[in-house]
Structure formats: structure tokens, C-alpha cells
Amino acid sequence: MKTIFLVIPHFVFTSDLLRTKYIGYLSQKYRVVIITPMIGDGEALAGKYLQSPNVIYLKRQLENPRLWQWFKLLRIGLVNQFDHLVSVQQFYQSPNYKNNWPRRLARFLGRPWSSFVSVDFLTKVELTLLPRSVSFEQYVKDYQPSLVVTATPGFDPFEAELILLSQRAKIPTVAVNFTWDNLTTNCKHIRKTDYLISWNETMVEEAVSLHNYSREKIMVSGVIRFDPYFTSAPDEPTRDEFLLSKKLNPDHQTLLHTTVTKAYPFQKKYIRDLITLRENGRIPYVNLFFRTHPLDDFENYSEFFSLRDVYFEKAGREIVLPSGRKRIEMGYSDLLNLKYTLKYTDININYASTISIEACIFDKPITNIGYLGRYAQAYGFEHYAPLCKVGAVRVVKDDSDLPKFINDYLTNPTLDHEARQEIVGKYVKFTDGLSYKRSVDCLDEIIKV
């Protein structure tokens, strides 16, 4: 049985790769050595991750954090090959850049050379400067991997380090779990893997046109994290059972609002607006279901918790690390909960989120929060603009739009149905619940090469 190294930098990716059918199917075909900074044998047992003779958990820390900090600065400052992208332009207008003087200084001093410095060039420099890793060499000697599988093509330093060490050891690499926006919003931080397994053909085109991947090195599997949406189980709750479990009234329609991280200052305003619209009768009396982002401040909304037919829920479950730091992971039960949340609510409101694609799967009308100053640029980002262009979402541009869109959709939920179906075909593609299997089967083709 051949061995695969599966590199997972944080809990966002354990949700997709270790809490779905992916790891079970992968370990039926290969011996899998899972390399993470947070899960060893003890944590795997305590966290109820898959236990199998074919699965080994290796806990490894990033060995060269200073190197990756410096090269993050250099990539932001020196690389301008992606400056035509709206997502990159927005970054340079954000406080994350403007309030960071080392980044601004690097960009100013590097301007004369920036047209000659590409992402691929900096990756070669990183490979040259990266110190030898005795621990990784020992892993290779002990397990003799045929392939190194990462979630993304090196956006995270933990993955970047292992991608380059694998290249040095002549072990092929493949990224299998990057999302629809990563090739554009994270474009400066790519360390190209030998192969990609993407969601859809749109991402293939981005990899070829933006990152000079060879089309023959990219495969399409569908979206692993969406697989539970397309499979049913005999114990699935009914709509009434689900809403009652959230202390919501099944006699009312339900509006779902999903938040983003606490870095965005406008969220509380929109929650208050929705509650006010319901109270003053500008929209019908509906259940208000608020699902907060794992990186949002859940307690910030405590003033609303006691309101009637209002429910707040934090995505995923909290994990306390040995250091005392807390992280959120989506287990399989959380993925199913999100499935029922989308299935049994009537309208989705969000800010430029992947949830929009998921709402399209369930053919739920989508309203996007849009009058946000510079934050409204997100609707022009390369990954999100097509949803607006085809009319799969309606973007709120002033205070009168929000109640109008809600009322229109509650009256006629089939509005924009064709556009939502178009997005499902373009971005989701496979609706059979077997994307995990296709993704693993793609590895067979790579190893045969």
C-alpha cells in the first residue's frame, strides 16, 4: 500500500478533510500520514478523529516562522503581477495595508524592481533559502511517501514549508481543498504545487491564466464540503422539528442572516435593522435566524438573545488547544446542521459569502448587504462578481432596498431561480454527493504519472 502525506495547517481544513467521508475513503486506498501542527495521536483520540491502521497522526510545528514572515512582507511589497485584480486593489485600500508601515515601506522601496519580481521567482528564492529539515527527511525515510497532499497551494506558511521541502525531496505535491476565491484573493501567496484538484472549470481557468499552471496538471472533483447537501438520511428532521429545535415558530417564514468575521464593523447595524423592520411591519413577522461566523464575536449580540422568535447560533464547535487558545471546527454534525439551516429557511442575507453558493444549491433567494463604502468593493471581486452579473443575488444599495428585496422574495421565492441554477452549474458542478470520492480518485491518476 502506497503512502500519502496529508498536510493540514489548521481546523478550517480538518472540517473538510477529516470530518467528512474523504479521510475514510482515502485511508481505504492509501496509508495516510496526517501532518498538522495541532493533532497528534492523543489529540486524534480525544477529538474522535478517524482511528485506523492506515492512518497515522504526526504533530509538527512550523520550523521557520521568521522566514515566512519576511517573505509575506516581500510578496505584498514587491509583486505587482496581480495588481489588476479588484480583490488586490481593495487590499491596498484596507487598514490591513494602510496601517502597516513595513508593508507600505516595502512596496515603496520595491517599486523599481516589482515588475521583474514574480510569485514564482520568490518561490525559487524561498526554496534556496529554506534550511534543511532533519525532521522532514526522517518522515520521508520512515514512510516513503508517493505524494504530498495539501489543502491549498501554499497560502499558509505551514503548507508552504512542506510543499518546498517536498519539491526538494522530489516528491510530487497536489492541493485539493482551496476555495473559489483563493486563486485571486490569495494570489500573491501561492507556492505552486505540481497538481491542483479544483471545484470547477472556472477555477481551472484562473489557475491557467493567472498562475501559469499547465491545464494537464489540474483536475476537477467538485466541492467536498458540499457533499452532505446532496445525500439524505432517514433521521433527517422535518422543517417543523428543526425550527422548534432552534426555538423558532414553524408557523412563520424564516429569514437567515449569516455574519462575517468581527473585523467588519457594520454587522450589528444590519441585525438591528432586520429586527426593526420586523417590529415596525415593513416586512412580515418572520423568524430571524442569525448564524455567526466562527471568527465573529458571538457575545457582541447578547442584547438580542432574549427576543422572541430570534435565534443566534455560532458556527461549529469550540476547541481549546493545550496553549489555551481557542479554535473552531466544523464536525460532520455541524455540516448537517448547516444543511438543514439552509434547507428550512426562506431567505438568506449575507455579505459576499460562500453561503451564497450554498443557498443557490437549495434554491433560496439571496440578498447581499451592499451599501458599505469601501466594503462594497467585494461585489466586484473576481470570484463574486459573476453571481451579481447573472442576477443570482440582489445587492442592497440603500435603506429602501432591504425591505423591498425581502418582501419580493417572501411573496415569490422563485424570483431569480434560473440565475441561481446557473451558479450551481458553474461553481458546484457535481450534485451527487461524491466529490470526496472523485478527489481521492484523482490522486490515483497523479501517482500513476
Check whether 330 has a pLDDT greater than 70: yes
pLDDT band for 264, please (50, 70, 90 cuts). confident
Check whether 349 has a pLDDT greater than 70: yes
SS (H, E, C) the chain: CCEEEEECCCHHHHHHHCCCHHHHHHHHHCEEEEEECCCCHHHHHHCCCCCCCCEEEEECCCCCHHHHHHHHHHHHHHCCCCCCCHHHHHHCCCHHHHCCHHHHHHHHHHCCCHHHCCHHHHHHHHHHHCCCCHHHHHHHHHHCCCEEEECCCCCCHHHHHHHHHHHHCCCCEEECCCCCCHHHHCHHHCCCCCEEEECCHHHHHHHHHHHCCCHHHEEECCCHHHHHHHCCCCCCCCHHHHHHHCCCCCCCCEEEEECCCCCCCCHHHHHHHHHHHHHCCCCCCCEEEEEECCCCCHHHHHHHCCCCCEEEEECCEEEECCCCCEEEECCHHHHHHHHHHHHHCCEEEECCCCHHHHHHHCCCCEEEECCCHHHHHHHHCCCCHHHHHHCCCEEECCCCHHHHHHHHHHHCCCCCHHHHHHHHHHHHCCCCCCHHHHHHHHHHHHHHC
What residues contact residue 8 under an 8 Å CB cut-off, 6+ apart? Answer: 14, 17, 18, 34, 35, 36, 39, 151
Domains and CATH numbers, the chain: 3-64+130-226+433-448 (3.40.50.2000), 71-112 (no CATH), 235-428 (3.40.50.2000)
pLDDT, tens digit, for every residue of 270-319? 899 999 999 999 999 999 999 998 888 888 899 999 999 999 999 888 77
pLDDT, tens digit, for every residue of 117-158? 999 999 999 999 999 999 999 999 999 999 999 999 999 999
Check whether 73 has a pLDDT greater than 70: yes
Q: 269: burial class by Cβ within 10 Å (0-12, 13-18, 19+)? A: exposed
Within 10 angstroms of residue 417's Cβ, the number of other Cβ atoms is 14
pLDDT value at position 263?
67
Residues 39, 49: contact at Cβ < 8 Å? yes
Residues 86, 382: contact at Cβ < 8 Å? yes
pLDDT band for 323, please (50, 70, 90 cuts). low
pLDDT band for 372, please (50, 70, 90 cuts). low
Residues 71, 122: contact at Cβ < 8 Å? yes
pLDDT value at position 449?
60
CA distance 274 to 374: 22
CA distance 448 to 28: 17
